[in-house]
Structure 1
Amino acid sequence: MLCFAGAVAWHTLAPHPDVRTDNAYVRVHYAAIAPRVAGQVTDVRVQNNDMVKVGQVLVELDDRDYRAVVASADANLARDRAMVVNAAASLTRQGPVIEQARAQVKTAEAQLTFSESDAKRYEYLATTGSGTIKTHQQADSTLLQSRAALDGAKASLEAAQAQLKILQAQEVSARASVRASEAQLEQAHLNLSYTRIVAPVDGMVAQRGVQVGNYIGAGTGLMAVVPLSEVYVEANYREVELRHVQAGQRARIHVDAYDVDLEGTVVGVPAATGATFATIQPDNATGNFTKIVQRLPVQIVIAPNQPLARLLRVGLSVETTIETNLADVVGEHRKAVQPAVASLFPPR
């Protein structure tokens, strides 16, 4: 009797190299399929439980409206490119226009010089009696006209030079319009491509909730694609059982549904307990506090090259056993942090 009691006590109190739990389930990060644009469904190419490959078309939307937008954006781009050509041609033409205005200024200056000399000559003739007053007045009038012509030529030159800056700004604006139209055309092509909804990952279709004829908005959930090759096990161990658990340890996985065993590897001890991210977290700040041992969801990945792993489905319950070999996790951690602590407190 004493031997039996001792054996029970040893089995209960002695540390065990293997830690087991039946609070474990198959999990996966699945892809929720939703459209990026609104439209009416014209074709649904998959059913629940179908296996699909990445890039495979799942759903098609009516694309006629989006093709019209592409055509409109394409026409706008052609128009804006023509405006750039026109602005560039006007800018090129403005150089000779300025040179022509400069030549007109020089012509007007030469004419003014002649008119000034002519006016002085007729003024002298009129004062000496050799010329008539009429010819003197005509020379003065021609002088005034030459001065006005020079002022007009200078004004035309200034206007041509100012027009050059305007044309340069118009060309910059036209090129900016082209870039904007190119972006609109690219967005139109993208929206058109979004009418073909494709699988983002390899996996199995689940939760299909779309039918031909439905009008769906952007972001409406259509189905899910579950990558069964990426399933893992989430094993909820009590915190007191994790003393010797660390990443890389071997784990045995018993699948209740098929009564088969698989191999796995521990990814690591998580950053928080399962209750930490719960929608309604427990409030332990009250006076009637009762200590409850928490559980941490330890992630275990399925070892490769196991044909029976294809039987796993998300949500299945399993039993996991981690072979810890009584690893000294605390001691290894102390050795790892000891140099850092020593650097913070150097000896005096």
Structure 2
Amino acid sequence: MSDDAQLHDGDRRDDGAEGEGAKKPSLFRRPLFWIILIVVVAAIVIGGLLYYLNARQYESTDDAYVDAHIVRLAPTVGGTLKAVADLDNRHVEAGRLLAVIEPSGPEAQLTEAEAGVQQAIAQAEQAKAQVIAARAARDRATAQARAPVASAQKAANDLTRYQALQKLDPAAVAGQQLDQARAQARTTAAEAAAARQAIESAGADVAVAERQVKAAEAVVAARRAQVEQAKVTLGDLKLTAPVSGQVVNRQVNVGSYVAPGSQLMAIVPDKMWVTANFKETQLTLMRVGQPVSIKIDAFPDVAFEGHVDSVQRGAGQAFAILPSQNATGNFVKVVQRVPVRIVFDTKDAPDPRDYPIGPGMSAIPTVKVR
């Protein structure tokens, strides 16, 4: 090999040695990597701690829905509808007329009942007149009895005086005179007894007449009750809104025949709330009055507010038609759900009545328990 070739070969070995000596150090040996890693881990730990500290202040569930006491309108009398208000999905105030049933039979019943009242009043007046007549007859009998009673008393006194004189002096009173006194006493006593009996009979007639008046007045009261019942029945032919709310689920039209108890329509009242079925383990710190933020699935961008109104005493399964019998068979513990009633607050928050929100719509309440 020539000197020039050896020289070039030496230069190449020197360049390779310099390239190997300039290789980059490992990533794990760089301080910047560990600084960044520590910062990231610290941020994750602090963020997780802050999230835990914030999350532990709230209890939330998606097993919740808007609830209300829906009023279902049904007639108490049967008949044909002659008018039905066209108020589907409209808001009505309490007392608004919604439907009218054809008043055929009830009007006749009312007329008959009113006639019965007049008849009963006439009978009562007649009975009162009989009482007046009976009292007059009693007074007349009492007046007529005064003379026989006085005559009987005088005859009895004369007989007693004659008998006393005869005992003192048998010659002072003749036997014929004594016999006449006895006869007179018996006669007048009988007349007095008859007069007293007439008074008692007249008094009995008065009592009977007074009882007849009471009976007639009772009949009048009964007839008037029938009139009131007929008026109630006639009033039942008009169906009005018992509460303010929205008319929904109308099932009839003009001309439809309705039977007593058949549902015509329903009203969703203005007062609504959220029924949230929380797990029993979520109730440890939950108390009445705690604030609640409510999200309605239909309006996710609207922040409704409320508060805990009440907590049901008992899990939902306790009120099932066929409640579970844990004392029989194999028992598997299941966390139960307990209904919690949450009332909307509308003072400084959106009013649910301003939105098409109704019973059954899904909600997500979050209760601040700490």
Q: TM-score w.r.t. structure 2 length?
A: 0.71
Q: Write the distance in 1 (CA, Å) between the matches of 2:367 and 2:98.
A: 40
- Give the secondary-structure state (helix, strand or coil) at the position aligned to 1:230: coil
Aligned residue for 2:129?
Answer: 89
1:279-294 → structure 2 map (5 Å cutoff) = 279-294=321-336
Bigger Rg over Cα: 2
State the AA in 2 paired with 1:51: H
The answer to whether structure 1 residue 270 and structure 2 residue 315 are counterparts is no
Aligned to 2:342: 300
Whole-angstrom distance in 2 between the partners of 1:62 and 1:318: 44
Shift of 1:55: 0.5
**Maintained 8 Å contact 2:304/2:350:** no
Q: How many Å apart are 1:271 and its aligned residue?
A: 1.0
Query: d(CA) in 1 for partners of 2:188 and 2:327?
Result: 101
SS of match in other structure, 1:261: strand
Alignment correspondent of 1:100: 140
**Aligned to 2:263, what secondary structure does the other structure show?**
coil
- Report matched runs for 1:1-348 at 5 Å: 16-105=56-145, 156-227=198-269, 229-259=270-300, 260-305=302-347, 306-309=349-352, 310-311=354-355, 312-324=357-369, 326=370
Partner-residue secondary structure (3-state), 1:181: helix
CA contact (8 A) 2:268 2:358 kept: no
Shift of 1:230: 0.8
Task: Tell me if structure 1 keeps the 8 A contact 2:303–2:350.
Answer: no
User: Relative to structure 1, is the Cα distance of residues 94 and 316 closer, same or farther in structure 2, using a 3 angstrom cutoff?
Assistant: same
Instruction: Identify the residue that residue 161 of structure 2 maps to in structure 1.
Output: none
Q: Distance in 1 between matches of 2:283 and 2:189?
A: 103
Deviations along 1:112-166, whole A, 9 cap, x unmatched? 99xxxxxxxxxxxxxxxxxxxxxxxxxxxxxx99999877666544432221111
Identity %: 32
Q: How big is each residue's C-alpha offset from its partner over 1:12-42, in whole Å with a ceiling of 9 and x where there is no partner?
A: 7997001121111111111111112222221
Instruction: Say which is worse superposed, 152-161 or 267-276, in terms of deviation.
Output: 152-161
Unaligned runs of 5+ in 1: 114-143, 327-348
**Kept after mapping to 1: 8 A contact 2:292/2:367:** yes
Give the total of aligned pairs. 300
TM-score computed with the length of structure 1 as normaliser = 0.75
Range 250-259 or range 7-16, more displaced: 7-16
- Name the CA shift for 1:159/1:16 in 2 (closer, same or farther; >3 Å): same
Q: Deviations over 1:148-196 (max 9, x none)?
A: 9877666544432221111011111111112212222111111111110
CA distance in 2, matches of 1:242, 1:109: 95
1:46 touches 1:205 (CA, 8 Å); kept in 2? no
**Matched residue type, 1:184:** Q
Aligned Cα root-mean-square deviation (Å): 3.3
Secondary structure of the corresponding residue to residue 298 of structure 1: strand
Shift of the 111–265 alpha-carbon distance from structure 1 to 2, 3 Å rule, reads closer
Q: Which moved more, 1:268-277 or 1:209-218?
A: 209-218
Q: CA deviation at 1:111?
A: 9.7
Q: Displacement of 1:317 after TM fit?
A: 0.6
Secondary structure of 1:212's match? Answer: coil
CA positional deviation for 1:249? 0.9
160-169 vs 280-289, which moves further: 280-289
> Cα 1:111–1:300, aligned 2, differ >3 Å: closer, same or farther?
closer
CA separation of 1:150/1:321 partners in 2, compared to 1, >3 Å: closer, same or farther?
closer
CA distance 1:234–1:110, change in 2 (3 Å): closer
Residue ranges of structure 2 left out of the alignment (5+ in a row):
1-36, 154-185
The 1:101–1:7 alpha-carbon spacing in structure 2 relative to 1, beyond 3 Å, is same
